[in-house]
Structure 1
Amino acid sequence: MIKVGLILGIAGACRTDELVNLTVDDIEDVGSSLIVKIPNTKTKIPRIFVVTDMGNMLELFRKYLSLRPPHVKHKRLFCTTKQENPVGKNTMGKIPSVVASYLKLPDVACYTGHCLQRSSATLLADAGVDITTIKRHAGWKSTTVAEGYVENSIENKTKIANQVLVGTTTSAITKTVNVSESNIPSNINFENCTNVTFNLNVNK
């Protein structure tokens, strides 16, 4: 349960109550991924997210689902195996602290249920994702919250440091190299480049 809660919580930037209220009908297993629907959210904005087949995430979900007691009367995804009762908000909210304890991290008590949503937004911001995408992913109405994650992301701070200390910019630069059979270069060197896109056009 802890592993599946962690996967869904971070993949979907879920709040604790969203995980608690998640039902088996809200998740569609399409083979290569899971399509998860969050119909009821704090901000009244329904959203959908996908869990792809990375590592053994789908295997863990399917294994957990197979352990579901056969005569459970409710449709909540997370339930106690022995008592067949739905898992409550307090139990779900302890998942981050349980994971932190397993990883032997300091200040385990600081890892609350909100860490799942916060970790998801932080990972997106550090990957360079824009504010609008983060806002929609987490289901926030206000842009201010999403801006905080982008402003504090390591990726964003690194770009700022490069601009201030090194003088590099993030503006687009286009370089065209014409190559024929008679003048094929032995190598082309690129230095101090990030977010580079190569477009190769072959004319016969």
Structure 2
Amino acid sequence: MTDQALRSAELVVINRAEIVAVHTTDKTASVIYTSVDHTLSDAARAAVEAGMPDSTRRAYTSDWTAFEAWCAEQGRVSLPATPQTVTEYVVHLTVALSARTDRPLGPSSIERALASIRTWHTFADETPPQTKAARKVLSGYRAQLSRNHNPAAQTRKAAPAEPDALRAMLATVDRTTLAGMRDAALLLLGYACAARVSELVALDISNVTETSDGLLVTIYRRKIKTFTEVAVPYGRVPATCPVRAVRALLAAMADAERTRGPLLVRIDRHGRIAPPMMRKGLPIGDPEGRMTSGAAADVVTRIAKAAGLEGRWSGHSLRRGFATAARRAGASLERIGRHGGWKDGSTALLGYLEEGDRWTDNPVSGL
């Protein structure tokens, strides 16, 4: 293809798991497309889906199923949907009661529903509907909630697992059991590596190497799509030392004849590494017993509740707590971001750091 034709060609960009057509302004060259040029094969569609986190894929599937059901009830076409249908659906979501919460969805959940609709159109080789009017409805809904002082107007955030909270959580864990050793390692390693739970449960035993200075942990950072090698030094206090916690877990797993495979595994009610789960005689889940992201997040929630901590606790509490505490300890934005695998200029990280600086770098102080 000539340079001129290349400049005028239609480019396809994958952004947030959506395939978006980008047209150039050079009209001097003519390019003729056929239906083949605008069609994704099953293999290509599966590859695009594979680039989406499992939790996002599940959420999008749930959102799309709900949209399809609503369209069927209203006598509307869900695929391809018109902008008017999408706008009416957003209006419906602002007033309909959710079966899970018995309240209308919050703005962030509706925003995700819009993303789900557009993404599903892409997977079906259909042009995503225009959502300008729907987003104006959403903007007005958010403003109305704010005027009414409705908490739903604000984004729900996980409570940060800062050092005092982390110590309280660890105090409830029975580290004489295999499950307790696993939970302690999960908390401390997740915090020390600023890992997302999906990154944490993906770790294999071979990804963790003990050195004279501490641990070197090789983590695949999904958001920046690269492996990072995170240095985790020894802690001053043995009870909160991630190196010692991981060492104890590895020793206990070796006693159970597990020296390879996933680092964080399911433990059954008898305190043993759980065997493969079966359904109708067929294995389901990870055959080696690897924990899921949801199971790891549940561990954090359960232990925080046992410690009597208030707020919303999830797997993200470890990552958020690290960023906040590291900033208060004087670590630079660059060092925090690179240690935790944040993208340069991450708005999420900046938000955490602003919370950490709320008192230590308050502009009102000294006025």
Would the TM-score normalized by the shorter structure come out above 0.5? yes
- Gap runs ≥5 in structure 1: 168-204
Give the Å deviation of 1:4.
Answer: 0.1
Contact 1:18–1:40 under 8 Å retained in 2: yes
Structure 1 counterpart of 2:324: 122
Shift of 1:88: 1.7
Q: Which has the higher helix share?
A: 2
1:57-68 alignment to 2 at 5 Å?
Answer: 57=241, 58-68=243-253
Match for residue 91 of structure 1?
A: 295
When residues 40 and 134 of structure 1 are mapped into structure 2, their CA distance, relative to the original with a 3 A threshold, is closer
Q: Which residue of 1 aligns with 2:89?
A: none
Determine what percentage of the aligned residue pairs are the same residue. Answer: 25
- 1:73-88 to 2 correspondence within 5 Å? 75-80=261-266, 81-84=272-275, 85-88=289-292
The structure having more radius of gyration, on CA atoms, is: 2
Checking the alignment, whether the CA contact within 8 Å between 2:214 and 2:231 is kept in structure 1 is yes
- What is aligned with 2:354? 151
With normalisation by structure 1, the TM-score equals 0.70
Contact 1:26 1:36 in 2 (8 A): yes
- Does the CA-based 8 Å contact 2:188-2:245 persist in structure 1? no
Q: Distance between the aligned counterparts of 1:83 and 1:18, measured in 2?
A: 21
| Higher mean C-alpha displacement, 4-13 vs 38-47 | 38-47
Structure 1 contact 9–19 (Cα < 8 Å) conserved: yes
Amino acid paired to 1:65: L
Residues in 2 aligned to 1:59 and 1:149: alpha-carbon distance in whole angstroms: 28
Mapped to 1, the partners of 2:245 and 2:361 lie a distance apart of 37
Distance in 1 (CA, whole Å) between partners of 2:225 and 2:257 is 33
Of the two structures, which has the highest relative contact order with CA contacts closer than 8 Å and spacing of 6 or more?
A: 1
| Contact preservation (8 Å) 2:297, 2:315 | yes
Letter in 1 for 2:248: K
Structure 1 residue matching 2:226: 3-state secondary structure = coil
2:232 to 51, 55, 59: 51
Cα distance in 2 for residues equivalent to 1:61 and 1:2: 10
In the alignment, the residues of structure 1 paired with residue 262 and residue 291 of structure 2 have an alpha-carbon distance, to the nearest angstrom, of 8
Letter in 2 for 1:146: L
CA contact (8 A) 1:37 1:48 kept: yes
User: Which amino acid is the alignment partner of residue 70 of structure 1?
Assistant: E
Q: Which of 199, 204, 209 is residue 28 of structure 1 equivalent to? A: 209
Cα distance per residue 1:82-130 (max 9 Å; x no partner) = 32521222211113212312321124xx201111111111111222222
Give TM-score, length-normalised by structure 2.
Answer: 0.41
Measure the CA separation in 2 of the matches of 1:41 and 1:126.
26
Q: Secondary structure at the match of 1:47?
A: strand
- Partner in structure 1 of residue 314 of structure 2: 112
The DSSP-based 3-state class of the residue aligned with 2:218 is strand
1:164-183 equivalences under 5 Å are: 164-166=364-366
Aligned residue type for 2:349: A
Q: CA deviation at 1:40?
A: 4.7
Give the 3-state SS of the residue equivalent to 1:48 in structure 2: strand
Q: Post-superposition shift, 1:36?
A: 0.7
Superposition CA RMSD, Å: 2.1
